[in-house]
Chains A and B, each alone.
Chain A
Amino acid sequence: MKEIQIHTLFGAALLSGIAGILLIGHGISIGIVFLWLPFLSAANSIRGMAMYGLGTGNASIGYWGTAVGATSAFVVSLSVSCRSTPLLYVAAVVAISLVIGLATGILADKVIRMRIPRIELNSAVIAMSTAMITAGSLLILGNDYGLYPFIYIIITLAVLHPYNASTGAGENQKRTLLLALVEACMTTLVIGIVAMLASRSSIPVSGDVAIVAASACGLVIAVVAWYRLVKSDIYEIRWTGYPPAEH
């Protein structure tokens, strides 16, 4: 089966992420669904790096990449003038995360000599994708600094987990990316619920309800599609039983 290239997926994720942030910036919270593609793109790049024998390094790459991306978005969101103009905000987030992501990738390759093929490209892709997701989430959740750790860690797990969960000889890109979609929907669902609490109004804001509803629909569709693939890939599914005796 032909795999989707990093460039193709990232190109789509970049356009989709920018559209998502601009929509959210103009008060249309449902634009968060456009952030699902950046989740896929980041998970794909983590897969690209971790495939080269980085079993336990998978989590570290997710940590690192999201740290770069989320930090870039947090830094940009500190500037009020930047935050109030969606176009400037998204441009600054993308530019800063590109520079820091590339720089860390080059340092890892040239100075630490990690010898992972295309580490610069993948590092930049993870940083930019997670930066866009963080920037979108920040616009939805508001400027409460108490929520930053939550935003960081929930995005980290959603992007590092799909490949980590699917690792094995029978892993394939399609199933890993579908799992990434499942987890992207799950993450935006939780962000929607937290946004309801963070809005501090007694009745949930309609935008937050829309996020939860759209994410829940997406989650159901993604789980069904993913489970269909699991059924075609798996050796056998049984309710109970003993493995065949080997020795």
Chain B
Amino acid sequence: MASTSLLLGTALAGFLAFLAGIFEDSESNAGSASNPNSQVQLAPQIGNRHRYFNKAISGEPPANALWATTAATIAYLLTAHFGGDAFAVLIASIIGAASSTLLLCAYGALSHISRIASMKNFEQALYWDSLLTPLPLDAAYGFLTALILTLLAFAAHGLLGNPFSVPLIALFFGITIGAIGSSTGDIYYGAERLYQCYIFGSGIPISVQGDIDVKGEYGYRNSVDTPYFTIRFGGLVTGLAFGMLIFLDAWSRLFTFAGVWTSVIVVSALVLVILIFIYLLEVYTRKRYGRYAED
């Protein structure tokens, strides 16, 4: 019989991971990070001068790893110093996440300005308001991501009994969520939202790269509009993917009713079920919709 802390930890971890996914995807979209970053970068070169916030920090995984690890490290040191009951962990995590958000703002602003300074040949101007308006929004999502990943790391360490230190778990979570955000969530922004002038789902052939939509519902599009749009689908899907990953992974600690190997069998069966489901889904989709037709 699983103990209460394990049950609580599994439920809490899944819930927190779901929220973290939503916030992470919105954060990356507010700053056009990862794949959209290259598309926005290319735009001025083919005459599409824009007002997007282009936060080229690195790939999403290392950047999120930095925010989460910095927040978790500060929280870890604070709780080691002042004691670590649940309330102290929450306060320490908030202080840690706030500190890492300052780092995010610094890196974000430096990236945006530097990239535009290198776009002189293509006559792309730096508009301060197109940096300063989305930056607080980006920072807010970044803060929530770092905070929740830190809490998640504490939950994994304390409630689920993960043997690694809290900052190391946060590093893993940061890299994982960045990878999921850039593979799952970004498609919706980088390949669809930026290319609404092309047929939905047509992908981005090399010939159209950089030919992004620079105008929005009213006036020029800005990076505040982007998360408002992507949170309806991209953010939730990222949350679902990361949430399921953490929730189902926690089962490996829950189902140990007939020895440690039970959990291995349960999780292996789970992976098999997911693989079969994905295979059947792809076969169905290909049969139903056929190959992508050129024009």
A contact set with B: CB distance below 8 Å: 55-56, 58-60, 62-63, 145-150, 152-154, 156-157, 160-161, 164-171, 175, 179, 182-183, 186, 190, 193-194, 197-198, 200, 227, 229-230, 233-244, 246-247
Contacts and interface: CB of A to CB of B under 8 A. Distances in A.
A182 B107 CA distance: 10
A135 to B, nearest CB: 19
B129 interface: yes
B77 A183 contact: no
A56 B120 CA distance: 22
Interface of B is mostly: helix
Contacts of A238: 125-128
Given A149-B168, A243-B51, A168 B81 contact: no
Interface stretch (B17-25, B66-74, B229-237, B268-276): B66-74
A59 B130 CA distance: 26
Interface size bracket, B side: 35 or more
B62 A240 contact: no
Contact of A146 (B99, B168, B214): B168
Contacts of B113: 227, 230
B78 interface: yes
A145 B165 contact: yes
A168 B62 CA distance: 21
A215 to B, nearest CB: 13
A238 B107 CA distance: 21
Interface in B77-93: 77-78, 80-81
**Among A62, A234, A236, A239, residue most surrounded by chain B Cβ atoms (within 10 Å):** A234
B63 interface: yes
A190 B103 contact: yes
Interface string B52-76: 0000111101110110011001101
Given A160-B62, A169-B121, A247-B47, A146 B73 contact: yes
B74 A197 contact: yes
Contacts of B121: 169-170
Interface in B8-65: 38, 41, 45, 47-51, 56-59, 61-63, 65
B167 A150 contact: yes
B220 A243 contact: yes
B173 to A, nearest CB: 11
24 contacts: A59-B61, A62-B58, A150-B73, A154-B66, A161-B107, A161-B111, A164-B58, A165-B57, A166-B118, A167-B115, A169-B45, A170-B118, A170-B119, A186-B103, A190-B70, A234-B116, A235-B116, A235-B125, A236-B126, A238-B126, A241-B125, A243-B125, A243-B220, A247-B47
Contacts of B99: 190, 193
Given A153-B69, A230-B113, 19 more contacts: A149-B69, A150-B69, A153-B62, A153-B66, A153-B70, A154-B69, A157-B66, A161-B58, A161-B110, A165-B111, A168-B41, A170-B117, A170-B119, A190-B99, A233-B120, A235-B126, A240-B129, A241-B125, A242-B220
Contacts of A167: 41, 56, 115, 118
A157 B174 CA distance: 14
B263 interface: no
Given A146-B73, A186-B103, A244-B49, A233 B117 contact: yes
Contact of A166 (B62, B114, B170, B219): B114
Contacts of A60: 59
Contact of B57 (A164, A186, A229, A239): A164
B282 interface: no
A173 to B, nearest CB: 12
B117 A239 contact: no
Interface string B161-195: 00001111011001000000000000000000000
Contacts of A244: 49, 123
Given A167-B115, A186-B103, A230-B114, A237 B126 contact: yes
A236 B121 CA distance: 11
B172 to A, nearest CB: 9
